Amino acid sequence: MKNWLSTIQQNKRLQAIIIGLYIVVTFLSLYLAQKSVVAFLLLLSSLLLLYFTTFSNRVKWLIGGFVLVVLLPFAASQGEAYQSYMEVATLVGIYIAMALGLNIVVGLAGLLDLGFVAFFALGAYTYGIFATSQANNFMPFGQYPLSGESFWVFIFIGCLVAALFGVLLGIPVLRVKGDYLAIVTLGFGEIIRIIFNNLDKPVNITNGAMGLASVQPPRLFGIDFMYPSQFYYIVLVILIAVIFAVRRLEFSKIGRAWKAVRENEIAAQAMGIHLVRTKLMAFAVGASFSGMMGVVFAAKQTFVDPTSFTLLESITILVMVILGGMGSVPGVILGAALVTILNLQVLTELTNWLNQLSLNGVINVPDALSPAKMQRFIFGIILIFFALYRPQGLLPAKNPAFDEDELKNTEGNLVNTSVQKEATQHVHLDR
């Protein structure tokens, strides 16, 4: 087995054949099978396979992009379950972006944020309020709802609002550290939810527990984006931008500063890193991804209410980060995809299947045991198991390793040193 793997690892042509075959087979099975969740998931997991190949990054991106942009929507569009597949894929994208945002705060900067969904809520409400007639209640000027064309601007506004609140929250909160920070952010998450829930009086801003209904769909060149298959492309574009940004940030000056703060605050400070500014930056950047996706979420659901932004959501995003690996971008993407698919597809399918079995009288599963209700149980198990036995997650974070000799030989010259191999990076949250 090991020999096999190593031969495959050395032979690029073999890899190309394997991944090509895999993609073709899963594509055909999704194309031909009218409604098959398994084929859909297998086609998605070709991306994971692609990650393990030794192709250059550019090739990986090209193949991955081709699968996501062309193959997946095309294969899925043949069956009647097209929209529900695209719905899942869209939500996976939204959660990946949020998990990447939280990854900056928890994984890179080492600040445990348990109220992360608050920023998502801020983004969603920012668009929700102005894209419904709700804004007429308190805005003295302008006609609301704004047309769907404003959606594209609101992606940036949502981003800015969330980042602003990230900073506003950060300024007082970052004076406490470690586990206190976790509690305070948790409190903040709850406060935001309670406020949104009650901000219908004295001035009706959020419409309270009733929520905001019929949010305007986005519009581009006269086309309304109504279906998940259309939102899929919006999410994909934003997601690629987010992944690109995160990758660049991780190895930039600020990214290294985040890691330094995570490893040891005092040592980082001694090396001249401005603690407050670095932490605020992490909060703001993490929050802004979340706010952006909040806007998309509001437009996709066409309905915003406070029940979508509970603590369970915050913990779900945390589970994604822990499962995938703190600080590791591919890991977090994998974790987010796994948890979202588990939530949306696997649990509901299992529940349906069990219900079917109980109906046929094969086995009798009580309603209390239905897997769709077991989210907390499953998340609890994942958190405990990974914290105890695999704190580095499924795909651990890696640091680029530099060849010392090569660096010394090119004295003084700013030469791009090639990254030889990737060394494993150990995530130490502050002790």
Summarize as ranges the residues that interact with another protein (CB under 8 A). 110, 112, 114, 172-173, 175-176, 178-180, 182-184, 186-188, 190-191, 194-195, 197-198, 201-202, 266-267, 311, 315, 318, 322, 366-369, 373-377, 379-384, 387-388, 391, 428-431
Rounded to the nearest angstrom, the gap between the alpha carbon of residue 158 and the centroid of all alpha carbons in its chain is 16
Nearer to another protein, 367 or 403 (CB): 367
Cα separation, 309 vs 297, in Å, equals 12
The neighbouring-strand residues paired with 422 are: 400
**Closest CB 279 distance from another protein, rounded Å:** 15
Least Å distance between CB 372 and another protein? 12
Least distance in angstroms from the C-beta of 391 to another protein: 5
How far apart CA 346 and CA 237 sit, in angstroms, is 26
381-413 burial, b at 16+ Cβ within 10 Å, e below that, comes to ebeeebeeeeebbbbbbbbeeeeeeeeeeeeee
What minimum distance in Å lies between the beta carbon of 308 and another protein? 17
Q: Which is nearer to another protein, 158 or 393 (CB)?
A: 393
Nearest residue (CB) to another protein, 99 versus 173: 173
Identity of the residue, 248 or 376, whose beta carbon is nearer to another protein in the bound complex: 376
The long-range contacts involving 222-228, CB below 8 angstroms and separated by at least 24 positions, are 224/148, 225/148, 225/299, 227/83, 227/86, 228/83, 228/84, 228/86, 228/87, 228/89, 228/90, 228/300
- Residue number with CB closer to another protein (168 or 407): 168
Query: Residues near 368 by Cβ (< 8 Å), separated by ≥ 6?
Result: none
Which residue, chain included where needed, has tokens 């992606």? 155
CA atoms within 13 A on the CB side of 27: 16
**Count of residues making up the chain:** 431
Name the residue nearer to another protein (CB basis): 216 or 351: 351
Q: Please, which residue, 302 or 375, has the CB nearer to another protein?
A: 375
Q: Omega of the bond prior to 371 within 30 degrees of 0, cis?
A: no
Least distance in Å: CB of 282 to another protein? 15
Q: Which residue number, 1 or 388, has a Cβ lying nearer to another protein? A: 388
Of 73 and 391, the one with the shorter C-beta distance to another protein is 391
- In whole angstroms, the minimum distance from the beta carbon of 99 to another protein comes to 15
Smallest gap from Cβ 240 to another protein, in A, equals 30
CB of 40 to another protein, least distance (A): 28
Nearer of residues 110 and 217 to another protein, judged by Cβ: 110
Paired sense of beta strands 303-304 and 212-213, if any: antiparallel
CB closer to another protein, 146 vs 374: 374
User: Is 129 in contact with 203 (CB distance < 8 Å)?
Assistant: no
CB of 381 to another protein, least distance (A): 7
Query: Cβ of residue 363: shortest distance to another protein, in angstroms?
Result: 15
- 175/154 Cα distance (integer angstroms): 32
Q: How near is the Cβ of 190 to another protein at its closest, in Å? A: 6
- Rounded (10°) CA dihedral 365, 366, 371, 374: -150
Q: Least CB distance from residue 70 to another protein, whole Å? A: 39
Residue 310 or residue 399: which is nearer to another protein going by CB?
310
